[in-house]
Structure 1
């Protein structure tokens, strides 16, 4: 059945652009907003097929003025990454079309295949999902592109960190001093740069979490070349804020158990962990709001701030 209201919500020029990239006789018959992202609007489009039946595509559109300014670069990089990953076994979407400079659409947009599964943000079953996340990240880091993506960029500085209200000022000052130092030397690898539960799709069968499996990894807007610890640290931070500090600390162990190779020295691993934890301080309100929209109503900005403070404190108290 055609859902005219939802289809009408797709902007006219964008809808016309999508239609030009469909197979003969196909048309968009439905659209559903997918929640959880911060940088772009994401919709699942239901495509009616000429011979009957449907298939799904996903449309990502950058509309926020701040993110539109970055969209052309990000969409070029995402399109390149999806093309690269199509032959690697990493479960990424397939590229259908991209309009990085909004030459055809109202806003910069990317059209890709739809992957089965869903993001799973609840606490239940995390013990089973954690090693799956770790193994998937090891597989991503094993990708060897013919042409390397650009070197990683770390935007957080000592001056941009936002110390949470009520945090121990001395602990946070010491953490900020960590990132004043030069980055440790590293042997680079292919990075996702935003690998975390919100960008991983799972299939969780009726039999329960024990039989869960990963069906996709999405949001490839910032693939980079850099230290494996950077991806590990980012996923650890998100797990700490979403599920509690202990899970952030546990993920680094799970990555090694899955065959990942982090920096040899504990001080080097901590540098990347602290850097990503401090980076999160600048986005707590946005992240908490996105998670509440996705169903985690208890994750107020204050709750996430407290978890971040506890996580950074635990990192600073760890040996090394």
Structure 2
């Protein structure tokens, strides 16, 4: 959502995570990989499983790179290593496709140099969108065009295991409505709709966490797409719907509809997405993560409208 500034990070036990500080070994690795002396380090917004720090290295002129490492430091868990390798493969794929995404510089997947699985990539100029950006007439259209570009990426050149298959986070084994919801029947309808099964859809390259907070802007122009660690092969509709609910909550339902309409025009079919994925994207937020009354006030009408279109 657009209001998430800065992002609140928590460790797996729910306690606030301290600011990211790269180790001397990591900074030495950055210097070795870039050939420049480290001048400064600035923590950036991060996700639930990674730290991100912008590093300024000496040069003519100085330049910025991004050091990204796993927040999960359990040595017996191979998942962080696999995640870094997959993200590196995705960034290489995006470079070949010409998307406005960070470029891969180096990886330390086993943590031999940095102590934890680590990735080094280029820094993209721009900032997350604010309310002024969202008011631009072209805001939703540019998000739709970027989604269309993402879904046209040809992943056939990637290794077979380089891009993860799409999966939902909520398996609906024990579904429960958000504790702050006053409309439990609405959520029960949503659970039933999701359990009924997905419409047929081809698997394409998807961002998997496509929302405005993972885009960068200069004024009213979209300049970059970030946070590719969950990129998958799956239904384009999920990307669209994940963006749609975010826009409905943070900007308004009209912005969500304009975004989808612009994507549909570019895709050359009407409509390109199915309301089933709107329902899935909302249900996939559970078990709830920050679904307080203010969010539910806009999210539940979006969910109700999607169910009405099924």
Residue number in structure 1 paired with 2:256: 248
Residue 229 in 1 paired to residue 241 in 2?
A: no
Residue 156 in 1 paired to residue 166 in 2?
A: no
1:168 to 180, 183, 186: 183
Residue number in structure 2 paired with 1:38: 48
- Matches for 1:179-198 after TM superposition, within 5 Å: 179-198=194-213
Do the aligned residues in 2 keep the contact of 1:117 with 1:203 (CA within 8 Å)? yes
- Per the TM alignment, residue 314 of structure 1 is displaced from its structure 2 partner at its CA by 2.1
Do the aligned residues in 2 keep the contact of 1:284 with 1:304 (CA within 8 Å)? no
Residue number in structure 2 paired with 1:275: 280
Structure 2 unmatched runs, 5+ = 1-19
Residue number in structure 1 paired with 2:114: 105
Secondary structure of the 2:102 match is coil
Matched residue count: 283
Superposed CA deviations along residues 80-113 of structure 1, whole A, max 9, x for unmatched, are: 0111111222111110111223222132221101
How far apart are the structure 2 equivalents of 1:37 and 1:260? 34
Structure 1 unmatched runs, 5+ = 1-7, 205-211, 289-300
- Matches for 1:123-142 after TM superposition, within 5 Å: 124-125=134-135, 127-142=137-152
1:16 to 28, 31, 42: 28
Residue number in structure 2 paired with 1:5: none
How far apart are the structure 1 equivalents of 2:26 and 2:130? 30
Residue number in structure 1 paired with 2:66: 58
Secondary structure of the 1:225 match is strand
- Per the TM alignment, residue 132 of structure 1 is displaced from its structure 2 partner at its CA by 0.2
- Per the TM alignment, residue 263 of structure 1 is displaced from its structure 2 partner at its CA by 6.9
Superposed CA deviations along residues 126-154 of structure 1, whole A, max 9, x for unmatched, are: 54211001001101111112246342111
Q: 1:81 to 1:36 in 2, by over 3 A?
A: closer
Do the aligned residues in 2 keep the contact of 1:121 with 1:197 (CA within 8 Å)? no
- Per the TM alignment, residue 160 of structure 1 is displaced from its structure 2 partner at its CA by 5.1
- Per the TM alignment, residue 276 of structure 1 is displaced from its structure 2 partner at its CA by 0.7
Superposed CA deviations along residues 15-67 of structure 1, whole A, max 9, x for unmatched, are: 122122112xx111011111253332211111112xx431010111221469x
Secondary structure of the 1:87 match is helix
Return structure 1 stretches of 4+ with deviation > 6 angstroms.
Answer: none
Secondary structure of the 2:138 match is helix
How far apart are the structure 1 equivalents of 2:142 and 2:105? 28
Residue 202 in 1 paired to residue 193 in 2?
A: no
Secondary structure of the 1:310 match is helix
- Per the TM alignment, residue 278 of structure 1 is displaced from its structure 2 partner at its CA by 0.8
- Per the TM alignment, residue 262 of structure 1 is displaced from its structure 2 partner at its CA by 7.5
- Per the TM alignment, residue 283 of structure 1 is displaced from its structure 2 partner at its CA by 4.6
- Per the TM alignment, residue 260 of structure 1 is displaced from its structure 2 partner at its CA by 6.1
Q: 1:86 to 1:177 in 2, by over 3 A?
A: same
How far apart are the structure 2 equivalents of 1:132 and 1:237? 17
How far apart are the structure 2 equivalents of 1:65 and 1:238? 31
Do the aligned residues in 2 keep the contact of 1:245 with 1:310 (CA within 8 Å)? no
How far apart are the structure 2 equivalents of 1:132 and 1:65? 38
More helix by share: 1
Do the aligned residues in 2 keep the contact of 1:117 with 1:215 (CA within 8 Å)? yes
